[in-house]
Amino acid sequence: MAGQPAERDLVIRPRRTEDLDDAAEALVAIHASDGYPVEGVDDPHGWLDSPKVIRAWIAALDGRVVGHVSINRPNGEEAVALWADQAGVPDTQIAVLARLFVLPEARGNDVGGRLMNAATTSAQMDGLRLVLDVMAKDAAAIRLYERLGWSHIGTTSHAYGDGQSIEAICFVSPEPAQTSSGSPERSE
């Protein structure tokens, strides 16, 4: 399709410190165009690189940061409590997929899916199950999660700002594929 970047130009890799300025700039641009995220744009560096981050990745197209995702430690998220209760597991076996965004000009090339797969594979190798919440208004994101096999586990109200909230849908990542040894399968 004309105007779409070739897959060979796209690289998904672990985020480095020197990527933070470009990722913060992309975050602010996405907020201006999509209203996402509902928080974090006042301090995009701090929001992206909070102490909760376990690991993060960026998508680079021709060397330019066009997307981001992180795995965060639980911090009182309703999705964590829902999954811990439903699965009967401690929250130490759960992490949060967070800070996922893709610049509009890079969408339609499975950038979001590739970022999510990097995070999901890493979490599975660490023995973690990922959860997330997504604003109910974000239909494209919900379609992506469902296409990638994430399961709806409940709804909540996502609180942000000065007493504001918005309806959110909670998801859990797919069960890890098991090898004959019983370990999660590593996908490269």
How far is residue 183's CA from residue 185's CA, in Å, rounded to a whole number? 6
Q: How does pLDDT run across 9-30, given as a tens digit for each residue? A: 899 999 999 999 999 999 999 9
Model confidence over 154-186: pLDDT tens digits?
999 987 778 888 899 999 999 987 645 554 554
> Using alpha carbons only, how large is the chain's radius of gyration in Å?
16
In the chain, where the domains are located: 7-172
Q: How many CA atoms lie within 13 A of 103 on its CB side?
A: 20
pTM: 0.87
- pLDDT for res 184: 52
> What superfamily in CATH does domain 7-172 come from?
Gcn5-related N-acetyltransferase (GNAT) (3.40.630.30)
Q: pLDDT by residue (tens digit) across 33-65? A: 888 887 778 899 999 999 999 999 999 998 999
